[in-house]
A and B are shown apart, each in its own frame.
Chain A
């Protein structure tokens, strides 16, 4: 149990385009979902926390107008990178916490974004 999927697993896009990444909890309801970014040889950096039906809470330094997060249901959250630039190229990972859990997070497999 507690499986989280992400789609797509990798994407290559041109500079200036927008990219949407989906995160789904497959067998549980995710009270809270988190979006992280990871650059090579670095640890995960939290970008934002989202709760179903409410606005996401962004970490300091993360542009909310550039990284749009929608948490429309208890099993789906999306991250849209708007007007992507090469410096946005990174590994984006989502995670989800489930109600009744002990605050452990279940991570998706990640999405590799490359902006040309």
Chain B
């Protein structure tokens, strides 16, 4: 069965450093991989989508990589800020309006 793994332990980093979160998937060949941010008691917010033929995608301080050979995506936040503290979810998907299967999420804590 499809499996999506994200670090279940919280990632603690200092303000200004780069945070790197990992998403690994098995038994799956997604055409896209999406990253979302979720704050406590709120719905997730879409951040970035990367296609299988793209190795890297950037948006402001965010960078996502997608390695279909390793079946892994890395999510980077550069110059992290306390406001970046949240849970980050990855979700592989295929074409069309198909359902998303979310990873368990990694909680990021950025301390000042």
State yes or no: do A and B come from one complex. Answer: yes
SS of A interface (majority)? strand
Given contacts A43-B104, A102-B32, A108-B43, whether A31 and B97 have CB atoms under 8 Å apart is: yes
Q: Is the CB of B99 within 8 A of A34?
A: yes
Q: Which residue of A lies closest to B45 (CB)?
A: A107
B43 to A107, Cβ gap below 8 A? Answer: yes
**Does A54 sit at the interface, judged by CB under 8 A?**
no
Question: What number of residue pairs across chains A and B have CB atoms under 8 A from each other?
Answer: 54
Taken together as a complex, chains A and B put the C-alpha atoms of A42 and B34 apart, in Å, by 18
Query: Which of chain B's residues 42-83 have a Cβ closer than 8 Å to chain A?
Result: 42-46, 49
Q: How far is the CB of B86 from chain A (nearest CB, A)?
A: 14
Bound-complex Cα distance A106 to B101 (A): 15
A46 to B100, CA, bound (A): 8
Q: Is the CB–CB distance between B96 and A103 below 8 Å?
A: yes
Beta-carbon contacts of B23-51 to A below 8 Å, as 1s and 0s? 00000000010101000011111100100
Question: Contacts of A95 on B, CB cut-off 8 Å?
Answer: 43-44
Least Cβ–Cβ distance between A56 and chain B, in angstroms: 12
> Do A103 and B93 have beta carbons less than 8 Å apart?
yes
Asked if B98 is at the interface of the complex by the 8 Å CB criterion, the answer is: yes
A75 beta carbon closer than 8 Å to chain B:
no
Beta-carbon contacts of A37-65 to B below 8 Å, as 1s and 0s? 00000111010010000000000000000
Bound Cα distance A49, B93 (Å): 14
A residues near B (Cβ < 8 Å) are 4, 6, 31-32, 34, 42-44, 46, 49, 91, 93, 95, 97, 102-110, 112
